[in-house]
Structure 1
């Protein structure tokens, strides 16, 4: 919603950031490591209807300092598990420094990543949204795993 701050890790060309900012009216921050993709997102922002609610940061996800208002986090086919663990450490630290409800969305997760997340002591699975009906193939990874930080 309007009061949410979405962090889109590995934002690429910015499509998810723009779409979610448009659909939900949230503020979105795209975090991208690849300069070419970041530049494309910036160019895409010139024409996006939601451009006033979206910003992009060129940095490594592990180095990104989470704003105290950040409460929603989107990961598309998340990076390697060792990197994800470091990013989660930053999320847990941010929650400790400024407690607030935090929700994490993982689209198209790897099996190893899903197992790690669903068994993590600081995370609670809220929902698994099956997205297989959107595509012709029957791919078990076509889902959005929704988690929240444990209180």
Structure 2
């Protein structure tokens, strides 16, 4: 299914790449995860309806809408850019017009990632290179602080992972690499087209 067709199925608009006029050294451009990559991930990565995802740097919300629709899990999209946040809310309005009643929730927060309060039941965290290693470290620190207060298993899912993110998790945290999922159609041309999943037990 083409990108436009999948957007149409979900009644959302998430295509395109957006560079920022006043680009910060800490925050990267907007680019949605390809649908074929999401399909490859969830062909191999098992999730339950009890999981609660957080997408840091969610942009227009493709990842949250995809997993809410296909996996029926609760998800929060965290986005610091006001324009992208508004587009995510517009997508949410359209999406909910057709979305079947579900116990799973979907919501968006307009906040810097490091300012998001990790909820006690948040347990799956998704990153597609949204920001610098310095901010990633702060977010992971917030996640681990939450685990201290509310012990649980945690997964961090990285798409197109940077060596800095991976090195930090391996060398400075108790997270362990448990899975790698390659995107078949893309990996042969670019071996960054993969997901790596780290777990904290």
Q: TM-score, normalised by structure 1?
A: 0.91
Pairwise CA RMSD: 1.8
Q: Following TM superposition, by how much is the alpha carbon of 1:99 offset from its aligned partner in structure 2, in angstroms?
A: 0.5
Question: Is the counterpart of residue 3 in structure 1 residue 50 in structure 2?
Answer: yes
The equivalent of 1:129 in structure 2 is 181
Tell me the alpha carbon deviations over residues 110-150 of structure 1, each in whole angstroms, 9 at most, x when there is no partner: 1222222233331111101111x23386112111110111x
What CA distance in whole angstroms lies between the structure 1 residues aligned with 2:170 and 2:127? 15
1:33 to 80, 88, 103: 80
Q: What does residue range 1-150 of structure 1 map to in structure 2 within 5 Å? A: 1-48=48-95, 49=99, 53-131=105-183, 133-135=184-186, 138-149=189-200
Structure 1 unaligned spans of 5+: none
* Larger CA deviation: 40-49 vs 118-127: 118-127
Query: Bigger radius of gyration, 1 or 2?
Result: 2
Higher fraction of helix: 2
Are the equivalent residues in 1 in contact too, given 2:79–2:112 (CA < 8 A)? yes
Tell me the alpha carbon deviations over residues 64-91 of structure 1, each in whole angstroms, 9 at most, x when there is no partner: 0011110111111241001100000000
